[in-house]
Amino acid sequence: MYRYLEQRLAGRLLEFLKLHYPGASLPKVVIEPPPKVELGDFAIPVFPFAKPLRAAPLKIAEAIRAGVGPIEGIAEMQVAPPGYLNVKIDRAWMASALAADQEPPTSMAAGKILVEHTSINPNKAAHIGHLRNAILGDTFVRLLRYAGREVDIQNYIDNTGVQVADVVVGFTHIEKKSRVEIEALASQPRFDYYCWDLYARVSQWYAQDKENLKARSQTLHNIEDANSETAAIAEVISTAVLRRHLETMDRLDIEYDFLPRESEILHLHFWDAAFTKLKEAGVLTYEAQGKNKGCWVMRRAGTTSTTEGTGETEQSDQISEEDQKVIVRSNGTVGYVGKDIAYHMWKFGLLGRDFAYRKFYRYPNQHDCWISAMQGEKDHPHFGDVAEIYNVIDARQSEAQNTVIEALRGLGHNEAADHYTHFSYEMVALTPRCAAELGYTLSDEDKSRSYIEVSGRKGFGVKADDLLDQLIVSAKHEVDSRHPQLTDGERVSVATQIAIGALRYFMLKFTKQSVIAFDFKEALSFEGETGPYAQYAVVRAASIFKKAAIDPDTFFQDSSVSSVAFTKFLTGDNADEFWELWLAASKTSYIVNQCISTTEPAYLAKHAFQLAQLFNAFYHRHPILSETDESRKQFLLATVAIVRRELIRTLAVMGITVPPVM
């Protein structure tokens, strides 16, 4: 409701200003929450209007206040020095809207959105860095869906690249295993862990003797022949590891709709189609000499082609070597960026080709995840061909992402390029202390750093399943001591919900551009600004209703509950402490919208924490069930019901559920 009121207010202000100051070029009306509740619920700084309107800020504010007229849902406006217009919400109006759970639909863009996230190389176990990606991506999907958008979730699978080849080398050259032996291993429970260790060994093996690197290039070459034994082995490994990744993410309630694989992008000739168009449009140029002789290159994103001195722009067939990004190697093979360009043309329906599809993984809720195939099933959902895309990919790849966007522009697809968002975030690294705890020996230089980058190649990192297991054990320990009357199964179930809440909250509380220096102590914490803190608030709210034998979900449908009666508690003396809760509860969709427009889910975590914090203080200060004034008791219960509802919603968007007890 807060969002709805804000939009209504903004509209009326603009209307008023246009009418009373015709012709003046007006700056954007900024509406922000004031720093304190006493000041009001919306604040409009009017300083920016002083110059264009040739009037003092206070005069403008007063003119608006006096002239804008009544607005439904707004109680009053006050002018505050040195130049703010503070607006107070009609609390009775808001109380009734919240009690009725009204959220008027807002105008939003149409069209399907595609979110790509996770995209882990299928050659080893997922680690905490991948968790951040998947949790950010999954939460963003939930945000979009909460806002009413239709979303497809894709997880790109690079099953033909160097990383998979390296593990194939490990099995065939170091362990000298046959395909049958590998298949047997691949069906073991945590095959991805096996690959994790093997991958690290392969890197060492390469380092021991440069000659060993020949095995890599030979293997890479063999994988390209789809009918070879090597390709079959790669397929076994990458498919088994991929399945493990889906299982790991499934533990966190993260699902996908479609898994496009690089092998199909190659074998269904997506690249050939893209290559033709890129050459025709002049996006790619052939280098006849220099360091990139024999390659097809593109201008690196972010570089400009101005010639010194004249200031004239060169024709694009002259790119300095530094600014060249190799798309097609001199041996004719295409690199990752090229395949990504083809894939993104497909995403926007610009390629003129499509995958074949088959079912790959079924979730407990019966939802199917599809995978690309050479020959697929006849009936399948329609993927791709979307209006907007978001790619959840870490910041290290922003140059590659921008190169893909520039390629789309070069092809004349500006509309697509404008709707291409690289959802960029920073990596998860380990604190030196954490690295030491894991048994890694650190150089003195490393010890002095604030964080150390995770390295799959070195096997240096915290595996996703291990972290989740540890969180569950730790939560179970707490649950055991608090709820000995429950069965072990029930306690495991509660502990699992808490563990997921802690993990998902932990990954979302940091803003995207902040490097997370991972530390077990912090990640395993269930107190303070954590997921369990928010879950606990909901459990407390629920227990009040349980004891009162009232269903909080249908509380407001009871005819004896009247939101009109609440007004007296929201507007009298000392009402601000209650109003703060109602106001915060009204902001969920406002926050969701803010998260989407800034691609920053951290605001949602803040919102959950704020609601929980306000509730816990309220809970402590006001005994509810023992309240003797019946109308006051109803009001307090209503407050609990509203905050509980919004907190549950907010947590659900973060992918966090609330256990029955804690």
Partner RNA sequence: GGGCGCGUAGCUCAAACGGAUAGAGCACCGGAUUUCUAAUCCGGUGGUUGCAGGUUCGAUUCCUGCCGCGCCUACCA
Min separation Cβ 476 and RNA, Å? 9
SS3 helix, strand, coil % of the chain, rounded to 5?
A: 55, 10, 35
- Residue 247 tokens read as 């299982």
464 in contact with RNA (CB under 7 A): no
397 in contact with RNA (CB under 7 A): yes
- Residue 296 tokens read as 């097809």
32 in contact with RNA (CB under 7 A): yes
307-346 residues near RNA, rule: CB under 7 A: 322, 326, 329-331, 335-337
Min separation Cβ 314 and RNA, Å? 17
C-beta closer to RNA: residue 166 or 185? 166
Distance CA 7, CA 13 (A): 10
CB contact set of 268 (below 8 Å; sequence gap of 6+): 353, 355, 356, 374
C-alpha distances (whole Å) from 368 to each of 135, 210, 253, 259, 360 are 20, 44, 14, 11, 7
547 in contact with RNA (CB under 7 A): yes
214-273 residues near RNA, rule: CB under 7 A: 262
C-beta closer to RNA: residue 161 or 655? 161
Tell me the per-residue interface mask from 486 to 525 with RNA, x by CB under 7 A, - otherwise. Answer: --------x---x----------xxx-xxxxx----x--x
399 in contact with RNA (CB under 7 A): yes
Q: Out of 2, 4, 84, 205, point to the residue binding RNA (CB under 7 A).
A: 84
423 in contact with RNA (CB under 7 A): no
Distance CA 519, CA 431 (A): 6
Distance CA 424, CA 513 (A): 8
Identity of residue 571: T
Distance CA 287, CA 306 (A): 20
Start-end of H helices in 328-462: 336-347, 398-410, 414-418, 432-437, 444-448
Min separation Cβ 349 and RNA, Å? 23
274-293 residues near RNA, rule: CB under 7 A: 291-293
Distance CA 342, CA 173 (A): 33
Distance CA 232, CA 241 (A): 14
Stretch that binds RNA, among 93-101, 109-117, 269-277, 597-605 (CB under 7 A): 597-605
73 in contact with RNA (CB under 7 A): no
CB atoms inside a 10 Å sphere around CB 233: 24
135-194 residues near RNA, rule: CB under 7 A: 158, 161-163
553-572 residues near RNA, rule: CB under 7 A: none
Instruction: Please provide residue 188's backbone torsions phi and psi, each rounded to the nearest 5 degrees.
Output: -75, 155
Min separation Cβ 498 and RNA, Å? 5
Min separation Cβ 606 and RNA, Å? 6
C-beta closer to RNA: residue 236 or 636? 636
25 in contact with RNA (CB under 7 A): no
Distance CA 319, CA 566 (A): 70
Q: In what order do the strands lie in the sheet containing 42-45?
A: 42-45, 84-89, 74-80
Stretch that binds RNA, among 18-26, 196-204, 349-357, 622-630 (CB under 7 A): 622-630
C-beta closer to RNA: residue 186 or 591? 591
Q: Are 373 and 357 in contact (CB under 8 A)?
A: yes
Min separation Cβ 257 and RNA, Å? 21
CB contact set of 527 (below 8 Å; sequence gap of 6+): 533
CB contact set of 318 (below 8 Å; sequence gap of 6+): 305
Q: Out of 533, 556, 566, 579, point to the residue binding RNA (CB under 7 A).
A: 533
CB atoms inside a 10 Å sphere around CB 69: 8
- Residue 161 tokens read as 């690249």
Min separation Cβ 68 and RNA, Å? 17
Q: Out of 383, 526, 578, 579, point to the residue binding RNA (CB under 7 A).
A: 526
Tell me the per-residue interface mask from 33 to 52 with RNA, x by CB under 7 A, - otherwise. Answer: -xxx--xx--x-x-xx-xx-
Kindly state the number of chain residues that form the binding site for RNA, as judged by CB under 7 A.
Answer: 99
Identity of residue 484: P
28 in contact with RNA (CB under 7 A): yes
C-beta closer to RNA: residue 16 or 47? 47
Q: Out of 25, 439, 620, 628, point to the residue binding RNA (CB under 7 A).
A: 620
Q: Are 436 and 147 in contact (CB under 8 A)?
A: no
Min separation Cβ 363 and RNA, Å? 26
Min separation Cβ 543 and RNA, Å? 4
Min separation Cβ 334 and RNA, Å? 8
- For helices 488-509 and 464-482, the axis angle rounded to 10 degrees is 130
Min separation Cβ 564 and RNA, Å? 24
